Amino acid sequence: MRMNTSTLSFKLTTFLIAAVAIALAIGGGMHSVLRKVEAENASRTTHVIAAKNATYQLLETIVDAQAALQNTLRIKDPDEIETSIGHFKNTLNDAQQLIKNTADIPPVIGEKLDALTKTDQEVIDKFLIGENSAAFELMMTTVPQRFEALTQAIRAYSTQVETALKNDAEASGVALQRLLRWAAVACGVLSILLLAYGWRFRNSTVNQLQRLSDQLDEASKQVAQAADQVSTASQQLASGANEQASSLEETSASLNEMSSMTKRNAEGAVRANELARGARKSADTGASDMKQMHDSMGAIKASSDDIAKIIKTIDEIAFQTNILALNAAVEAARAGTAGAGFAVVADEVRALAQRSATASRETSGKIEAAIAKTDQGVQISSRVTENLGEIVETVRKVDDLIAEVATASGEQNLGVDQINTAVSQIEKITQNNAASAEESAAAAEQLKAQAMALQDAVTELSKMVGHKKGFSAEPIAKDQSVPPSPTPEHKKTSRRPSDSTKTKFFAAK
């Protein structure tokens, strides 16, 4: 088809170039010939006009000179006579100069002018010496003869020029007519050749255009169908994009909520970290206090040991006091009644010593129990101290973990923000995609309309080239090209006709 199109273009170009070239050749030839004829005519006309002008100027000058001479004869004032004669002589000089400057003027005219000038001078001479009658006589006899002879010579020259012009014009006309006949014959032959070539070219062009219109008709239908499918797909794509956009909006809202929760978590982690740090500090303080308590309990044990030693000493003192009281009683007994009061005191001291011993024993028991309790408390406090150390260590680990949790929450918050931003961008892109899909759908509708217009144009083209075989200029129904469902499978299949259409169309070209 491309070869055919190139051939058509080549033929058309060749035809046009040939027509223009022939027209230019004929026009140029005719123009050249006409210019030549025109130039010859102009030259002849210029020559004739120059010759005629020369004769007219010569006649006018001579008549002016003769009038000046006649006027001179009527003047009496010498000043005026002098001026008039000067004018007469100047006029005659002009006439002689005109004859000298006009190459074609025959010598006889100059001779006749000289004769007239000579007679005129005689008239002037006679007039100037007062022989007016003689001057008038010459003016009435000889001057007219000379003047007539001169004018006859000029007329003869004018007639000669006219005759020569007429002969030249006739010869030129004959040549031009012969040329025009040849040009007419050449134009006729060339016109017939061009007509034959044009007819042949017309037939081949019409056939090619008919084939082209068929292919265009098919292609326009397929383009319309493809456009319809593209329109439907675009509308579905726009709808899906809109839904996606709304989902993204919801996602974005959820992400916003998650972002705020993450922020709250991060803030809680920070607060927990601070609390853990406080707990750690409190545990450290508790451990220190516990150590101090352990030390105090050690001191209490030491004091209890000292008290036990004192009480033992008191017990020993009570024992010895009791021995002494016993010895006193014995002595008091021995002393009889004199010793009876002493014996009573000894008994009282002995009772006191016994109570003291009892009290010291009870105190010693208490103190031992206290020492035992103190030992137990020391052990317990040691264990509490160990436990508090473990607690402090655990709290430190908790603090570190909470700090890591806080850092992770911050990073998580940033990540959520980035996700939120990305989702917003995706939402915008989705909206743009939806808008583009709608525009694509509209463009596809326009494409379909243009395809229908193309089909109308193809119909016109077909009518223009006189396509007689059945041409399907049916309008493309919209439901013919709308796919039944916008499933991906359908989309996949709906693209194929378009591709095949393109392939066909360009292959046809």
Partner 1 sequence: MNTPSKLIRLPLLLLALAGLATSLRAELEPEQQAKVEAKVSLVKAWAAEPAIIEAVAAHNAQLPTGHADMTQEKWKSLSVLDPLVRSFSKNPAGDFLKTKKIEWLTEAFVSDAKGLKVAFLSKPSGWSHAGKPKHDVPMTGKTWQGAVETDESTGLPQLQIAVPVLKDGHPIGSLVVGLSLGKL
State in angstroms the smallest separation of the CB of 107 from partner 1: 20
* C-alpha to C-alpha distance for 89 and 61, rounded to whole angstroms: 11
The number of residues in the chain equals 509
State in angstroms the smallest separation of the CB of 25 from partner 1: 51
**What letter does residue 469 receive in the DSSP assignment?**
S
- Taking alpha carbons only, the member of 271, 364, 269, 280 closest to residue 315 is 364
Over the Cα atoms of the chain, what is R_g? 75
State in angstroms the smallest separation of the CB of 112 from partner 1: 13
- Taking alpha carbons only, the member of 242, 303, 279 closest to residue 395 is 279
Q: Phi/psi class of residue 336: alpha, beta or left (left: φ > 0; alpha: ψ in -120 to 50)?
A: left
# chain residues binding partner 1, by CB under 8 A: 34
108 binds partner 1 (CB under 8 A): no
133 binds partner 1 (CB under 8 A): yes
Q: Which is nearer to partner 1, 123 or 391 (CB)?
A: 123
* C-alpha to C-alpha distance for 4 and 9, rounded to whole angstroms: 9
Question: Binder to partner 1 among 54, 98, 123, 143 (CB under 8 A)?
Answer: 143
Kindly state the helix (H) or strand (E) to which residue 369 belongs, with its residue range: helix 340-464
Our CA angle for 105, 106, 107, nearest 5°, is 120
Q: Which amino acid is at 258?
A: M
Q: Which is nearer to partner 1, 83 or 498 (CB)?
A: 83
Cβ neighbourhood burial of 123 (10 Å; 0-12, 13-18, 19+): buried
Print the binding letters for residues 55-94 with partner 1: x by CB under 8 A, - otherwise.
Answer: ----x--xx--xx--x--xxxxxxx-xx--x---------
Q: Which is nearer to partner 1, 128 or 179 (CB)?
A: 128
Q: Which is nearer to partner 1, 155 or 166 (CB)?
A: 155
Print the binding letters for residues 414-453 with partner 1: x by CB under 8 A, - otherwise.
Answer: ----------------------------------------
* C-alpha to C-alpha distance for 139 and 152, rounded to whole angstroms: 18
Q: Phi/psi class of residue 485: alpha, beta or left (left: φ > 0; alpha: ψ in -120 to 50)?
A: beta
* C-alpha to C-alpha distance for 296 and 153, rounded to whole angstroms: 176
140 binds partner 1 (CB under 8 A): yes
Q: Which is nearer to partner 1, 87 or 490 (CB)?
A: 87
Which range touches partner 1 (CB under 8 A), out of 90-98, 134-142, 302-310, 320-328? 134-142
Question: Binder to partner 1 among 48, 116, 123, 147 (CB under 8 A)?
Answer: 147
* C-alpha to C-alpha distance for 16 and 10, rounded to whole angstroms: 10
115 binds partner 1 (CB under 8 A): no
Q: Which is nearer to partner 1, 71 or 412 (CB)?
A: 71
State in angstroms the smallest separation of the CB of 43 from partner 1: 27
Q: Which residues bind partner 1 (CB under 8 A)?
A: 59, 62-63, 66-67, 70, 73-79, 81-82, 85, 125, 127-130, 132-133, 136, 139-140, 143-144, 147-148, 151-152, 154-155
